[in-house]
Amino acid sequence: MDTTLGRPVSQTRSFATIALIELWERFGYYGMQALIVYFMVQRLGFDDTRATLVWGAAAALIYVAPAIGGWIGDKVLGTRRSMVIGAIILSLGYALMGIPTTNTWLTFSALGVIVVGNGLFKPNTANLVRKIYEGNDSKIDSAFTIYYMAVNVGSTVSMLATPAIKDHVNANYAGELGWHVAFAFCSVGLWVGLITVGLLRRTIGHIGSPPDNLPLNWGKLALVLGGGVLAVIASAFILEYGWLARLFVYLAGLVVLGIFIHLIRTSQASERSGLVAALVLTLQTVFFFIFYQQMSTSLSLFALRNVDLDFSLFGSHLFTWSPAQFQALNAIWIMLLSPVLAWVYTRASNAGRDLSIAAKFALGFAVVAAGFFTYGFAGAFAVNGLTSSWIMIAGYGLYSLGELLVSGLGLAMIARYVPARMGGFMMGAYFVAVGISQYLGGLVATMASVPQGMTDPLQTLPIYTSLFNKLGLAAIACTLIALAALPLMRRLTAEHHTHR
């Protein structure tokens, strides 16, 4: 129990404050993600290829930015302060998306603002949770489990809400205003989170990095904000010009590989096996996120063109979803499967049969393969080019289980295999690697680009099912590679444990 202003503050109350603002931030982000590709295709008039590549590049930037934002929080402005500033910048980004215009530069600039805001917000909220329970590994594990659930509560609500808001406003008002009202709604979520933190600020007043305990350095803040403006401009240009996005991704890839090689070469012999193991698993994670990026690209456009939006059971109509709302299935399945998987892990551990992280990665890829084959085979049961909405539920269920087995263990892998003194560097490198794979996922999604003007579901269906079957085969290949790497991983893990 910590004290602020002489009054006790429990760890639980401190954690609840951070979890609440994280919930509202994810509410804003996923509400935007649910609509962004549709917005570019239906409102801005982009073809499928441009829309998926732009969003792939934006997602890459959004994931790379925390590598810098975490350092700013630790060394420059303070962890707690950076979180709040990041949330304010994010709310501005979504508000800019709410301006009713089809100007692409404004859209790309707004996405650039979101990149900067996320870079400051995302790593520093996680660091605050870590600081609350520092020194208590079991509580940290439990806290991050609940934290992950908060993320999915926020994202589920927003991914169901923003498409409904967009459809309702568009149906009742002219000018396609619904898109912009829905994006503005994302901004409101951030302000609810900020007000929550403002009201509960006493509960986290004692947590943070050394700069948080000093008066705000206005010069440093001006430098950070100035750098943020330059980052927004750079982001807009990267999103506008495809060759710049590719160059950025290639450079980021070289940087990540360089960090790994440098750390492995300069590490002590006792640390080397753990770092090599982390490198192998990080490479596998990159492949997973290529599959993950399909959710907001090829799968979302598949739902738009080739899914029967009505849910019926035994001939009775239950309800109807809009295409964008199907993305909420991922978060819903994550919430349902997380406690089940946690129970399975506990039982297996108690019985002495717990699978290694490497084995769980291999199993995760196998489940992802089954998910994509589910979508691929859906074409055989389509009626007039439209597949059943229940197919989406089944496919997302398998896909989400794969996510929990691979992505859900990614940060745990870094914590397990990387020495504490390198943790910050490696966490940043991990996020950069994930960002790279988000762009590559957008690149893969262009294989299912539908020519502009093609609206017949019978023509678009084979385009999507062909990609999904290929992704299923690619996931099987990843499974085989992960299985082949198991002996190496067992040896590296054994060496790592002997030196701990």
Identify the CATH number of the domain in which residue 459 sits.
Answer: 1.20.1250.20
Pair 132, 270 in one domain: no
User: 198, 214, 240: which is the final residue of a domain?
Assistant: 240
Pair 236, 377 in one domain: no
pLDDT of residue 489: 73
Residue 297 lies in a domain: yes
Pair 195, 253 in one domain: no
pLDDT of residue 276: 79
The gap between the terminal CA atoms of the chain, to the nearest Å, is 30
Residue 463 lies in a domain: yes
Which tokens is 404 given? Answer: 């929990």
Residue 2 lies in a domain: no
**Pairing between β-strand 316-320 and β-strand 7-9 as defined by DSSP bridges:** unpaired
Residue 3 lies in a domain: no
User: How far apart are the C-alpha atoms of 459 and 466, rounded to whole Å?
Assistant: 12
- Residue whose C-alpha is closest to residue 68's, from 495, 435, 352: 435
CB 326 within 8 A of CB 309: no
Which residues of the chain, if any, have pLDDT below 50? 1, 4-6
CA distances to 151, 401, 418, 487 from 335, in Å: 10, 11, 29, 33
pTM score:
0.87
User: 205, 240, 275: which is the final residue of a domain?
Assistant: 240
pLDDT of residue 169: 95
Three-state DSSP state, 176: coil
Pair 86, 107 in one domain: yes
CB 152 within 8 A of CB 327: no
Residue 456 lies in a domain: yes
User: 209, 240, 271: which is the final residue of a domain?
Assistant: 240
**Pairing between β-strand 7-9 and β-strand 2-4 as defined by DSSP bridges:** antiparallel
- Residue whose C-alpha is closest to residue 94's, from 160, 7, 28: 28
Neighbours of 450 (CB within 10 A): 20
Which tokens is 107 given? Answer: 């859209």
Q: How many helices (H) and strands (E) does the chain have?
A: 18, 4
Give Cα 329 to chain centroid, integer Å: 15
Residue 427 lies in a domain: yes
Three-state DSSP state, 419: coil
pLDDT of residue 415: 60
Pair 166, 183 in one domain: yes
H or E element that contains 445: helix 423-445
pLDDT of residue 425: 64
Residue 90 lies in a domain: yes
- Residue whose C-alpha is closest to residue 48's, from 363, 372, 305, 311: 305
- Residue whose C-alpha is closest to residue 44's, from 239, 303, 321, 293: 239
Which tokens is 46 given? Answer: 């982009």
- The residue range of the domain holding 18 is 10-240
Three-state DSSP state, 320: strand
pLDDT of residue 222: 95
CB 435 within 8 A of CB 59: yes
Residue 5 lies in a domain: no
Pair 195, 329 in one domain: no
User: How far apart are the C-alpha atoms of 240 and 38, rounded to whole Å?
Assistant: 17
Pair 111, 207 in one domain: yes
